[in-house]
Structure 1
Amino acid sequence: MSKKFALIGAAGYIAPRHMKAIKETGNDLVAALDKNDSVGIIDSFFPDADFFTEFERFDRHIDKLRRANGGRAVDYVGICSPNYLHDSHMRFALRSGADAICEKPLVLNPWNIDGLQEIERDTGQKVNTILQLRLHPSIIALREKVQKEQKATKHEVDLTYITSRGHWYLQSWKGDEHKSGGIATNIGVHFYDMLHFIFGELQENVVHHSDDTMAAGYLEYEKARVRWFLSVDYKYVPESAKADGQRTYRSITVDGEEIEFSGGFTDLHTRSYEEILKGNGFGLEENRVAIETVAAIRNASLASLTGDYHPFLKKV
C-alpha cells in the first residue's frame, strides 16, 4: 500500500529530487508548502497535490487529514526548507503523527539533536535523514577497504569542492550564516559525514580560513588526515575545469589517488527513500558527528597557515 507524503519547501533546489523519489518508490505526495509559489515542477510528478503558501493553512490541512476517517493521514513529511527551519519543521512532522525525512544539514547545532530525540520518544515517530553519500557504491567500497586493512599510518586525504554560485547566493538565506550555518554547513556537511563514515571518529578540527564564500581547514580522524577546501566562488575552479566549461569542481584524493564518486548522485535520494521505507533510514544519532564538526568550524578561531593546509589556500 502506498504511503502519503507532505513536502515543506517545494520551491527549493532540492525539492524535485524528493518528488522524484516519492514517485519512483510508488507513493503519493498529497500536500506541499512553500512561501514562494514558483512550484510548477509539482505538475511533473503530482499534479493533484494540494499546495499552500502559508504554514498555518498547511498545518490545518495536515491536521484535518490526520483526524479524517479512511486512512487519509500523512505518513511522512519531507523537509527541504531553509536550514534554520529544519528543527521546527521536524517537530511539526512528529507532532502531526508522521515520520520526518529531512535534508542536510539536519540542524545547525548538536544540542538540537537532543531535543528532537526527546520528541521522538514522546510521539513514537522517527526522524530520517538524507545522508546520501553513505549509499554511494564508491564510498561504501572505500569504507570497507579502510576497515579491512592493517595500516600503520593514517591516510592522507585532500577534499576539494567548488560549486559556483551567482550574485544571488549572498542575497538569499544561504548567504546569512544565522540561517544557513555558513559555507561549511550549507555545502560541506554531507562531506564531513562521509569522512567520519569512512575514517572513524573525529580527533582534531582546525580552521584556516572562513568567509562568506570560502572555507578551508584540517581534520584528523582515526584513520585519516584531511585537508579540505570548500567554495561557491568560480575563481577557485581549476583552469583545466574552466576550459571544459565546468563551473563545479569536486575532488577527493586518498594517498594521492583520486576517488571517483561523482556519478550516480542524482539517484541517491531515491535510494535513500527506498531504505527509509524499509525501516533502514539514517536517524538523528548518525548525524551527530557531522553537526558537531560544522558547529565547531563555525565558531572556531582561525589558525595560521602552517603545517597541514589545503594547497588551494595559496590562491587566496
Structure 2
Amino acid sequence: MSKRFALIGAAGYIAPRHMKAISETGNELVAALDPFDSVGIIDSFFPQADFFTEPERFDRHLDKLRRSSDNKVDYVSVCSPNYLHDAHIRLGLRNDAHVICEKPLVLNPWNLDGLAEIENETGKKVFNILQLRLHSSIIALKKKIEADRSGKIYDIDLTYITSRGKWYFYSWKGNPAKSGGVATNIGIHFFDMLQWIFGDVQQNIVHLNESDKAAGFLQLKNARVRWLLSLDRKDLPSVAVEKGMPTYRSITVNGEEIEFSCGFTQLHTESYKHILAGKGFGIEEARNSIQIVHAIRTQKPVGLTGDYHPFLKKI
C-alpha cells in the first residue's frame, strides 16, 4: 500500500535523492518544507505536493492531516542542515509519523537518548540513512572480514578529498556548531561503515582538525585506521590532479584498494526499500559513528605524532 510522505529541507542538495526514492518505491510526497523557495525540483516528482516556507504552518498542516485518519502522513523525511535534525525528527514523531533522516542523525550522542524516549512515547521509529551499509562492495568486504577467523588486525588507510569552493564556508556547512565540522559533515558515513565492519572503537586520536580538513587514527577491535578528510583542492594527489578529478576517494585494507566508487546512484532508493520492509537502521545503529565524530570534534589535536596518515607529510 502506498505511503504518504512529508519532507523537510526540500531545497537542499540531498533532497532530490529522497524525492526520487519516494517516487521509485511507489509512494507519495504530500507536503514539503524549506525556508528557501528554489524548489522547482519538486515538479520532477510530485508537482501536487503542498509547499511551505514556514515550519509553524508546515507543522500545523501535518497536525491537520493527522487528525484526518485517511490523510495522515506516514513518514517524514529530514534533509535539513545537521544541527536541525534533532528538532525536525521530533516534529515528525509528534505528528505520529515515522522519520527517515539523513546522517548525522544528531550532532551529540546524548541527543539520541531523548529521541529514543519520544520513540517509546509515540510508538513511531527513527531511521538513519546509512547507505554504505547497502553498497555491494562494502557488504562483500564485511562478509570477507567476518569469515576470517585468524584474529588478525587489519591496517586501513581512508582518504577522502572532495574539493569545495568559498561558498561552503559561508554556508551552515562551514560552521562547526551547525555542521559538526569536516569529520561529521563528510566523514560520518565512512566512520559508520568502518566500525560496522571492523568493530567498536578502542582508541580515537586526532592529529589535525581545521576548518577544511581533519585527520587522525582509530583503533578498532579488528583494525588500525589512519584517516584523512579534506575539502582543499591542494590536497589532491597527483593521480587525481592529472585526470582533472575534483574528488579523490580511497580505502585500502592491508594495502589492497577497496573499489566502491560506483554503485551509489540507487542507494537512497535501496535505503527506502530497506526501511519500508521493516529493516531500517535505527537510533542504536547510528550511535557509534556519532560518538566517534563527537570525540573527534571535542578533543585537542596531537600533531604529527604516532601513526598518522601519510598525506599529512605534505599538508
Distance 2:303 2:230 in 1: 19
Paired residue secondary structure (1:12): coil
Deviation at 1:238, TM superposition (A): 1.4
Structure 1 segments of 4+ aligned residues over 2 angstroms from their partners: 150-153
Paired residue secondary structure (2:250): strand
Query: Residue 12 of structure 2 aligns with which residue?
Result: 12
1:144-155 correspondence to structure 2 within 5 Å: 144-155=143-154
1:105-254 correspondence to structure 2 within 5 Å: 105-254=104-253
For structure 1, the 5+ residue unaligned runs are none
Distance 1:188 1:29 in 2: 29
Q: In the alignment, is the contact (CA less than 8 A) between 2:134 and 2:267 conserved in 1?
A: yes
Aligned residues: 315
Q: Which residue identity lines up with residue 305 of structure 1 in the other structure?
A: L
Q: Which residue identity lines up with residue 227 of structure 1 in the other structure?
A: R
- Residue by residue, what CA displacement relative to the aligned partner does 1:93-120 show, whole Å, maximum 9, x if unpaired? 0110000000001100100000000000
- Residue by residue, what CA displacement relative to the aligned partner does 1:208-227 show, whole Å, maximum 9, x if unpaired? 00010000000010110000
Deviation at 1:124, TM superposition (A): 0.3
Distance 1:100 1:287 in 2: 14
Query: Residue 24 of structure 2 aligns with which residue?
Result: 24
Q: Which residue identity lines up with residue 291 of structure 1 in the other structure?
A: I
Percent identity, aligned pairs only, is 67
Query: Residue 37 of structure 2 aligns with which residue?
Result: 37
Deviation at 1:68, TM superposition (A): 1.9
TM-score scaled by length of structure 1:
0.98
Q: Which residue identity lines up with residue 85 of structure 1 in the other structure?
A: L
Distance 1:277 1:133 in 2: 18
Distance 1:53 1:18 in 2: 19
Q: Which residue identity lines up with residue 212 of structure 1 in the other structure?
A: S
Query: Residue 265 of structure 1 aligns with which residue?
Result: 264
Paired residue secondary structure (2:214): strand
Q: In the alignment, is the contact (CA less than 8 A) between 2:30 and 2:50 conserved in 1?
A: yes
Q: In the alignment, is the contact (CA less than 8 A) between 2:207 and 2:305 conserved in 1?
A: no
Distance 2:106 2:187 in 1: 13
1:283-302 correspondence to structure 2 within 5 Å: 283-302=282-301
Distance 2:5 2:230 in 1: 34
Query: Residue 47 of structure 1 aligns with which residue?
Result: 47
Distance 2:266 2:236 in 1: 25
Deviation at 1:148, TM superposition (A): 1.2
Query: Residue 309 of structure 2 aligns with which residue?
Result: 310
Distance 1:257 1:28 in 2: 43
Distance 1:95 1:30 in 2: 18
Higher mean alpha-carbon deviation, 301-310 vs 263-272, is at 301-310
1:69-108 correspondence to structure 2 within 5 Å: 69=69, 71-108=70-107
Distance 1:157 1:102 in 2: 29
Deviation at 1:304, TM superposition (A): 3.2
- Residue by residue, what CA displacement relative to the aligned partner does 1:121-151 show, whole Å, maximum 9, x if unpaired? 0000000110000111111111111111123
Q: In the alignment, is the contact (CA less than 8 A) between 2:251 and 2:257 conserved in 1?
A: yes
Deviation at 1:265, TM superposition (A): 1.0
Deviation at 1:315, TM superposition (A): 1.6
- Residue by residue, what CA displacement relative to the aligned partner does 1:152-205 show, whole Å, maximum 9, x if unpaired? 431000000011111000000000010000000000001000000110111110
- Residue by residue, what CA displacement relative to the aligned partner does 1:4-59 show, whole Å, maximum 9, x if unpaired? 00000000000000000000000000000000111111101111111111101111
- Residue by residue, what CA displacement relative to the aligned partner does 1:219-240 show, whole Å, maximum 9, x if unpaired? 0101100000001111111122
- Residue by residue, what CA displacement relative to the aligned partner does 1:270-291 show, whole Å, maximum 9, x if unpaired? 0000010011100000011100
Distance 2:153 2:287 in 1: 23
Paired residue secondary structure (2:160): strand
Higher mean alpha-carbon deviation, 56-65 vs 149-158, is at 149-158
Distance 2:241 2:45 in 1: 34
For structure 2, the 5+ residue unaligned runs are none
Distance 2:22 2:114 in 1: 28
CA RMSD, Structure 1 to Structure 2 (Å): 0.8
